[in-house]
Structure 1
Amino acid sequence: MRFLKEMLSREAYQSIIDLIDASSNGCHSNCLRDLSSKFPNVPHDTLYSIFAQHFQQTTKQCHSQHRKPLVMQGYYKRYLASQDQPEVLLHMSQDVSLSPALLSRSILESYITENSVTAVGAPSTALVSHWMKNPQHIPDEKLREHVKLCIRSDTNYGLLAENVKCSVGYQYEQKLRRRLEEHNIPFLDEEFMRLQGYDKTPDFKLEVPFAVSSTVVNWVESKALFVDENSHKRYMEEQLSSYYNRFGSGMVIYWFGFVEDVLQGSEDQGILIRTSFPEAQRITSIA
């Protein structure tokens, strides 16, 4: 297969996860450097995608521990004691293994409580969300600058991280669009189909299907990420199965790769999995 660099064995994937668990401690740059050194044959985008998803999963699992009132009070007291130090919240986020953006939210909530800060018609949660999107409105100058730095530095959570994720997703969706156009394959895009009243739609519904490896492709979905079995199963349940039921068999492109176990039974389910759009010689016209 042409996508072996992005298709990982279960053992290789687990080795990557083990290294992340052992060395990340909230500092993605050090961890990614270690990953690139130990797994030189795995593309950087693949390693980054695995790291980002695993970091988010582990954060969700332990986030409730960081939300305990006594823990939040402790974080805030620690911040107050060191607020004159540069990058104090960044250092704290590494020490407690919490995303800088999420730690900032915690500190802001405590700041509101301790200072009885209110906004007309806005509960504290709404005010915190507003400040995270518009940190220039935080009244405390020192806290404002610390939060700004956390937002700029956080590549896993927060507004900047979401914007980057959306931008990468859009870039790869446009890459897929160009591939379809280069192969002269007519299609309807998601925006057009939504205007026609469809609720759940793939990125591209083909007006003229083609076949790859004996599977007829009626639609193509772009995913700018790496997936393991659980992630793929979730996409199957939430999206891909709906596309299959409505439009027939199709293709999903996981641009940054997948665990090889994901392939098991996928074509029997009418879903062709790839890490790039097939070469012209691999496409069979069925028009």
Structure 2
Amino acid sequence: MLTASSRASPRALALVGGVLPSVHARLLTLLASVPADEAFPDYAQLAFLARNHDHHQQQENLSSHALLTAEMAMAIHANETTARVKRTHREHYERRAQDLRRFIEDGVSLRELSREHNVPPCVLARLLLEAIGLRKDDVKAVLRDVCTELPRRAAQLPHAPHPEALERLALDIQGAVDHGGHGSPGADVARRAVGLAHEALLYERLRLLGVAFETEDDLRLREEEKTPDAKLATPLLLRWRDSRGRTVERFVHWVDSKASFCDHDSFQSACITQFDTYARRFGPGLAVHWFGYVSGVVEHHAAAGEHDTRRAASSVLVSDDFPPKGVELVQLEVDVQAHMRQCSKT
């Protein structure tokens, strides 16, 4: 039974682990030098360089933190690319007509423009296609089948580029699509597939533990709008020891699968768009970021974030695995609210 002294407090609680912030920051510095048109840099080498930076200063802390891997480096790169594209989208959008003129009149290639503006080729390709007059649905169709769809849809435009320029544009866009990377159809398909695979992995782990739950699809059948991947039929009690060796306990009512790395920006975004709603509707929960998280991210936002972010951060745990490493899971068959009231009297 929980005692008053061991009950989870409203403040943020953190599972031990995560990638050291200094290692994460070092990787971001290394990634900043990777050209935007390089879809798949040597992530293993980047991870090695990042985690061995200032190794002597960190060696006492490394044992209690996650080891940065190539998979984590790839996920971090995806986060940073997405953030950069969002941050600079307006700038590139307003310059798209100018870029199209340079492409047509000056012969500047799509790849050259990509490197110059530090924007992924397929993202820039979408903007150039919009600049010639295609709608967003047309752009999606073109990227799926460049050689067929671009000539067909461009023929319907009142001011389509000259056939030679259009052919060169098609070749450059096809090259960008084949190369992959952020914004390409292949990357979008892969991201969805990885997300579904890890969601299935979460369900498999829950079933192996004998935990009853409702899936996101089950909840949507009940016309629930924003839903976690798994709503637990009865809460789980998570018990672990913090960095000072103290026993910590926390109820979770839901688990959400994230096939991504959790950094400060992505955590804040998830708090606002998802976790706050889940917590207010179902109670505290657990977000599993399968590709890791920055150590201290939850505590930081619980203490320094905006009001909604602080509230959500105080109601969610972040882990890089399920069940979380070093954590005891206890299945409860009791009325949690009544249990908490009883504990408060002891």
Q: State the TM bucket, normalised to the shorter chain.
A: 0.7 to 0.9
The 3 A distance-change label for structure 1 pair 146 and 24 is closer
State the TM-score, normalizing by the size of structure 2. 0.69
Identity of aligned residues (%): 23
User: Which whole-Å deviations, capped at 9, do the CAs of 1:217-264 have from their partners, x for residues lacking one?
Assistant: 211110111112232122112111211111122211111111112232
Q: CA–CA distance in 2 between the matches of 1:58 and 1:255?
A: 22
Correspondence list, 1:203-214, <5 A: 203-213=229-239, 214=249
CA distance in 1, matches of 2:105, 2:260: 39
Q: How many residues align?
A: 270
Distance 1:129 1:138 in 2: 10
Q: What is the Cα deviation at residue 58 of structure 1? A: 1.4
Matched AA of 2:332: I
**CA–CA separation in structure 1 for the residues paired with 2:44 and 2:97:** 31
In 1, Cα distance between equivalents of 2:198 and 2:39: 23
Deviations 1:113-142 (A, max 9, x none): 6xxxxxxxxx64543343234422111444
- Structure 2 gap ranges (5+): 1-13, 52-66, 152-165, 240-248, 303-309, 334-346
Q: Please, which of 7, 10, 13 is the counterpart of residue 24 of structure 2?
A: 13
- Aligned partners of 2:284, 2:126: CA distance in 1, in Å? 44
Structure 1 segment 1-287 matched on structure 2, within 5 A: 4=17, 7-30=18-41, 32=43, 34-39=45-50, 41-69=67-95, 72-78=97-103, 82=107, 88-110=109-131, 112=132, 124-135=135-146, 136-139=148-151, 140-213=166-239, 214-264=249-299, 265=302, 269-278=314-323, 282-287=328-333
Root-mean-square deviation (CA), in Å? 2.8
Runs of 4+ with >4 A deviation: 79-83, 123-126, 265-268
What SS does the corresponding residue of 2:68 show, helix, strand or coil?
coil
The one-letter amino acid of 1:271's match is V
Bigger relative contact order (CA 8 A; separation at least 6):
2
Distance (Å, rounded) in 1 between the aligned partners of 2:104 and 2:297:
44
1:73 Cα shift? 2.9
Which runs of 5 or more residues in structure 1 are unaligned? 114-122
The answer on whether the counterparts of 2:44 and 2:70 sit within 8 Å (CA) in structure 1 is no
Conservation of the 8 A alpha-carbon contact between 1:183 and 1:280: no
CA 1:132 to 1:39, structure 2 compared with 1: closer, same or farther past 3 Å? same
Greater mean alpha carbon deviation, residues 219-228 or residues 242-251:
242-251
How far 1:202 moved relative to its partner? 0.8
* Structure richer in helix, relative to its length: 1
The range that moved more, 19-28 or 238-247, is 19-28
Distance change in 2, residues 1:155/1:246 (3 Å): same
Question: Partners in 1 of 2:273 and 2:237 — Cα distance?
Answer: 25
Q: C-alpha displacement at 1:183, in angstroms? A: 0.6
Higher alpha-carbon Rg: 2
